[in-house]
Amino acid sequence: MKLITFDYRRDLAVEYAHRWAYGRNPEYFNFQGIGGDCTNYASQCLYAGAGVMNYTPVYGWYYITANARTASWTGVGYFYNFLVNNQDVGPYARETDLSAMEPGDFCQLALDRDEFHHTPVIVSVGETPTLDNILIAAHSRDADYRPLSTYRFRAVRFLHIEGVRIRVPEEA
């Protein structure tokens, strides 16, 4: 088996983000009352654009049920670690600055604490990206088309999705 890379479908991720920004997809558990739903929602958007999960126990990125999932599906730091370190099946990303942002990418915010604890989905970006024209969708603090500049945050980091990998048989 070998890994091949294909493009992340940003259009599908953004379409999903708009569809569920103010609602909850019944196929997924709503984590709002037990720590927040932002990264669960971000993962759903990412999956809509990637179409592939990584079923590696503990360190992968997948959701089967609320009790059969990886920490990276719902945890801000785990989501980040999976994306920037993934060398196997599934989506992968690099941390970058706001100039590289595109719709379907993600940012993570440290709002009222020093650690990152909120994961909005970027749904629109101006020709020259700025905090004012990067618009996000999010859960926990439900939003759609919200300018990133309207958040009061201590720190922000940006995740640019570079692609998606799948495993295919070696050719004979």
Question: CA 169 to CA 172: how far, in whole Å?
Answer: 9
Confidence check: pLDDT of 47 > 60: yes
- Overall average pLDDT of the 80-104 stretch: 97
pLDDT for 35: 78
Predicted confidence (pLDDT) per residue in 58-82, tens digit: 999 999 999 999 999 999 999 999 9
What per-residue confidence (pLDDT) applies to 141? 87
Mean pLDDT of 43-61: 97
Confidence band of 108 (pLDDT split at 50, 70, 90): very high
Where helices occur in the chain by DSSP H, the ranges are 10-20, 38-50, 71-74, 76-85
Is residue 113 pLDDT above 90, yes or no?
no
pLDDT at 83: 98
> What are the φ/ψ torsions at residue 100 (nearest 5 degrees)?
-95, 0
Q: What is the pLDDT of residue 4?
A: 92
CB 61 within 8 A of CB 86: yes
Q: Which of 112, 104, 162 is nearest to 134 (CA)?
A: 104
Q: What is the pLDDT of residue 96?
A: 97
Q: What is the pLDDT of residue 135?
A: 98
pLDDT at 15: 98
And the tokens for 152?
């009061």
Question: Whole-prediction pTM value?
Answer: 0.96
At 122 the pLDDT is 98
pLDDT at 155 over 70: yes
Q: Is the pLDDT of residue 172 over 60?
A: no
Over residues 1-13, mean pLDDT: 95
